[in-house]
Amino acid sequence: MTDAALTRTTPARKVRYGSMTADREWALRWSYVFLVIFAAFSLLPPLYMFITSLKTSAEISAATNPWWVFNPTLSNYVALLTEPQFLIFFRNSAVVSVLVVIITMLISIPAAFALSRMRFWGSATLATGVFLTYLVPDTLLFIPLFKMFATFHEWTGIQLLNRWWVLLIVYPTLTVPFCTWIMIGYFASIPKELDEAAIIDGASWVQVLTRIFIPVALPGIIAATIFAFTVSWAQFLYPLAFTTSVDQLVLPVGIITTLIKGDVFNWGQIMTGALLGALPPLIIYAFLMDYYIAGLTAGATKG
């Protein structure tokens, strides 16, 4: 049979322009199904916390419908926001988080720049080691760190434990490795022609970093900053181990230690404190989410 005969006998295949195929339509529908399930799974806990925060202790103890408020009240919010201890916890968390972010950026940005641009022997191995350091869980680190601080106090007489500023020493062990790794990927994605042209024009490495890389890598720096702030704000184990006095506690530990007395749990104020404590990271993510996503995905492609 000739090609002309095949052309006459074979029906022409219709091509659907401007619409998706059936497989893609089903894939899109299933994607929405799983997104709805994921959103419900993620939003139900904070919703339950908000509902509980509007209840009195008597209504919580009554074990009625946990997803409904019969007599809503703001007494839990008023009690916490007028409590001096809660304001101290909030202030300590804010000061520690801001200072840890500054310390982390002062260390991570030069370290990432050196490891990504100033090639030297062992730089690739050192960069990998920086990231592997972050993988060591804090549950394994807090005991050696506690012993080190106790030994330091025995040798020098300087007390580091039970001081809120000791967290400025231990938190960077969590934030610096990961932030450095993020910045390495972002700096590596910047074209080498930029720093090579600057060096040819007589710029020093410090000028290349401050005048070229930091402005170009601003989304990556913002992403690392958000990560460092979130880790510092939400950290629980380190402040629980290294601080004990009420005036030295940060918000996550302060809420638990002051609102749980023996076997009595003040659930209304606990949920209220957790919601109020989640507001600063939530506000930061709401305004800087685009920069955060751009910074995390910058190292996927280079050039």
Answer whether residue 155 shows pLDDT above 80.
Answer: yes
Residues in the chain: 303
Rounded CA-CA distance 135/129 in Å is 10
Q: What long-range pairs does 193-199 form, CB within 8 A, spacing at least 24?
A: 195/117
pLDDT of residue 132: 82
| pLDDT tens per residue, range 197-250 | 888 888 888 888 888 888 888 888 888 898 899 999 999 999 998 988 888 999
Confidence of residue 298 (pLDDT cuts 50, 70, 90): low
pLDDT of residue 32: 87
| Structure-model confidence comparison of residues 10 and 142, the more confident one | 142
pLDDT of residue 291: 64
pLDDT of residue 20: 54
- Residue 238 backbone phi and psi in degrees, to 5: -60, -50
Rounded CA-CA distance 295/165 in Å is 29
State the amino acid at position 145 in one-letter form.
Answer: L
Q: Which two tokens stand for residue 141?
A: 């680190």
Q: What long-range pairs does 126-129 form, CB within 8 A, spacing at least 24?
A: 127/181, 127/184
Q: Can you name the CATH fold of 75-293?
A: MetI-like fold (1.10.3720)
Looking at every residue in the chain, the average pLDDT score rounds to 82
Task: Look up residue 210 and give its DSSP letter.
Answer: I
Answer whether residue 159 shows pLDDT above 60.
Answer: yes
Contact in structure between 256 and 41 (CB atoms under 8 Å):
no
SS3 225: helix
State CA 103 to chain mean position distance.
16
pLDDT of residue 90: 92
